[in-house]
Structure 1
Amino acid sequence: MKAHEAVMKWVTDELTSGRLHIGDRLPGERQLAETLQVSRNSLREALRVLEALGTIRTSTGSGPQSGTMITADPEQALTLALNLQLATSHVGHDHIYEVRLLLETWAAAHSDPELGDWEQAGHLLERMDDPALSLEDFLQLDAEFHVTASRSAANPLISTLMEALRLSIFDHTVSRAKALPDWSATSERLRAEHRAVYEALRAGDAEEAAILLERHIRGYYLETQA
Structure 2
Amino acid sequence: MTEAAWRPVARSRAYELVVDQIEEQILAGSLRVGERLPGERELAARLEVSRAAVREAIRTLEAQGVVRSSVGSGPDAGTVVSAVPSEALNRLLRLHVALANFPMRDVVEARVMLERFSATLAAAHADEARLAHLLALLEAMDDTGIDRERFNDLDTDFHIAIAEAGGNRLVADMTIAIRDSTRRPILRGLEGLGDSWTEVCADLRHEHRRLYDAILAGDAGAAADEVETHIRGTSRWLPGALD
Q: Which residue of 1 aligns with 2:215?
A: 201
Matched residue, 2:18: 3
Deviates more, 1:38-47 or 1:149-158: 149-158
- The alpha-carbon distance between structure 1 residues 203 and 171, as it changes in their structure 2 partners (threshold 3 A), is same
Comparing 151-160 and 84-93, the one that deviates more: 84-93
Q: Give the distance between the partners of 1:183 and 1:63, measured in 2 at CA.
A: 54
The residue correspondences of 1:176-195 to structure 2 (distance < 5 A) are 176-181=189-194, 182-195=196-209
Counterpart-to-counterpart distance in 2, 1:175 and 1:68: 39
CA distance in 2, matches of 1:90, 1:66: 37
1:105 and 2:120 equivalent?
no
Gaps of 5+ in 2: 1-8, 10-16
2:124 is the counterpart of 1:121: no
**Could you tell me how far apart the structure 1 residues matched to 2:126 and 2:148 are?**
30
Matches of 1:176 and 1:162, distance apart in 2: 20
Q: What displacement does 1:143 show?
A: 1.2
1:89 aligns with 2:103: no
Cα distance, 1:205 vs structure 2: 0.7
- In the alignment, which residue of structure 2 is the partner of 1:136? 149
What is the match of residue 90 of structure 2?
A: 79
Residue 177 of structure 1 contacts residue 224 of structure 1 at CA under 8 Å; is this kept in 2?
no
In the superposition, the TM-score normalised over structure 2's length comes to 0.77
Distance 1:78 1:138 in 2: 24
SS of the residue aligned with 1:20? coil
CA distance in 1, matches of 2:201, 2:76: 42
SS in 2 for 1:57: strand
**Which has the greater radius of gyration?**
2
What does residue range 208-219 of structure 1 map to in structure 2 within 5 Å? 208-219=222-233
SS in 1 for 2:79: strand
Could you tell me how far 1:157 is from its partner in structure 2?
Answer: 2.2
User: What whole-Å deviation, never above 9, does each CA across 1:85-141 have from its counterpart, x for those lacking one?
Assistant: 324434333222222111111222344543452233223223222333331222122
Counterparts of 1:153 and 1:201, CA distance in 2: 10
- In the alignment, residue 71 of structure 1 is paired with which amino acid? S
1:20 maps to 2:32? yes
Number of equivalences = 222
CA shift for structure 1 position 61:
4.2
* Equivalent in the alignment of 1:161: 174
Conserved? CA contact 1:113–1:202, under 8 Å: no
**Residues 108 and 231, structure 2, Cα contact 8 Å, conserved in 1:** yes
Structure 1: which 5+ runs fail to align? none
Structure 1 vs Structure 2 CA RMSD: 2.8
Verify the 8 A CA contact 2:18 2:54 in the aligned structure 1.
yes
User: Taking every aligned residue pair, what percent have the same amino acid on both sides?
Assistant: 35
SS of the residue corresponding to residue 91 of structure 1 reads coil
